[in-house]
Amino acid sequence: MEESQRVWKFVLIDENGEEHHFFGGKVAFKGVGVPASRATRGFLVVDSQGNRRYLKDTWRILSDTIQKEGDVYALLKEHNVPHVPDVIVSGNAIGDWQRTKTHEYVTPTFQDAVLRNHQHYFIVFAQVGTPLKDFKNSFELVQATSHAIEAHKVAYEKAKILHRDISVGNILIMDGGQGLLIDWEFSKPLDSSAPRTLERTGTWQFMSARLLSHKPGEVNHILADDLESFYHVLCWVTLMHGRHELSKEDAENQIARVYDGWNGVKASDVKGGSDKIVDLQKKWMAKQAKLVEGPLRDLVVGLEALLVVRYIEPSEFVNQDVVNAKLKKLDDSTWFLDSFSQALQHEEQLKSQERDPIRAISLPAMGDDDPNNRKRKKTDSELQEEDEDEDEERPSRRPRTSES
Q: Report how far residue 146's alpha carbon sits from residue 151's, in angstroms, rounded to the nearest whole number.
A: 9
- In DSSP terms, 21 is beta-bridged to 11
pLDDT, tens digit (0-9, with 9 covering 90-100), for 116-168: 688 889 999 999 999 999 999 999 999 999 999 999 999 999 999 999 999 99
Query: Do 154 and 146 touch, CB atoms closer than 8 A?
Result: no
Say yes or no to pLDDT of 169 above 50. Answer: yes
Q: How many CB atoms lie within 10 A of CB 78?
A: 10
The pLDDT assigned to 245 comes to 94
Please give the pLDDT value at position 262.
Answer: 78
Cα separation, 65 vs 80, whole angstroms:
23
pLDDT of residue 297: 98
pLDDT band, very low/low/confident/very high, at 372 (cuts 50, 70, 90): very low
- At residue 31, what is the residue type? G
pLDDT band at 373; cut points 50, 70, 90? very low
333, pLDDT greater than 80: yes
pLDDT at 376 over 80: no
Confidence at 86, pLDDT banded by 50, 70, 90: very high
Residue of 368 and 338 predicted with greater confidence: 338
pLDDT of residue 264: 60
Asked whether the predicted pLDDT for residue 311 surpasses 90, the reply is yes
Left (φ > 0), alpha (ψ -120 to 50) or beta: where does 5 sit?
Answer: beta
Interior/surface letters 210-228, b for 16+ CB within 10 angstroms, e for the rest: bbbbeebeeeebbbbbbbb
Q: pLDDT of 266-279, one tens digit each?
A: 556 678 899 999 99
* Alpha carbons 171 and 375: distance in angstroms, whole number: 19
Q: Is 348 left (phi over 0), alpha (psi -120 to 50) or beta?
A: alpha
- Angle, to 10 degrees, between the axis of helix 248-259 and the axis of helix 223-241? 160
- In angstroms, the CA 194 to CA 347 distance is 44
pLDDT for res 198: 54
Residues in the chain: 404
Mean pLDDT of 390-402: 34
Which residues 6+ apart lie within 8 Å of 78 measured at CB?
159
From CA 378, how far away is CA 156, in angstroms rounded? Answer: 20
Residue 309 pLDDT greater than 80, yes or no: yes
Answer whether residue 99 shows pLDDT above 90. no
Give the end-to-end CA distance of the chain in Å, rounded to a whole number: 20
Report the amino acid identity of residue 48: S
202-206, 239-243, 385-389: segment of lowest average pLDDT: 385-389
**Residue 324 CB partners (closer than 8 Å, separation 6+):** none
pLDDT of residue 107: 58
Q: With 90 as the cut, is the pLDDT of residue 212 above it? A: yes
How far apart (Å, rounded) are the C-alpha atoms in residues 374 and 367?
7
Give the pLDDT confidence score for residue 117 in this predicted structure. Answer: 80
Are 274 and 264 within 8 A, CB to CB? no
Confidence at residue 235, expressed as pLDDT on a 0 to 100 scale: 98
pLDDT of residue 389: 39
Cα–Cα distance measured from residue 215 to residue 200, given in angstroms and rounded to the nearest whole number: 8
The pTM of this model reads 0.83
> Could you give the CA distance from residue 340 to residue 300 in angstroms, rounded to a whole number?
10
Question: What's the CA angle centered on 345, arms 340 and 351, to 5 degrees?
Answer: 95
By the 8 A CB rule, do 260 and 371 touch?
A: yes
Which domains are assigned to the chain? Answer: 8-384 (1.10.510.10)
Phi, psi of 287 (to 5 degrees): -105, -25
> What's the whole-number mean pLDDT along residues 200-224?
90
pLDDT tens-place string over residues 243-297? 999 998 999 999 999 998 877 655 566 788 999 999 999 999 999 999 999 999 9
CA distances from 199 to 58, 94, 216, 276 (A): 21, 30, 5, 21
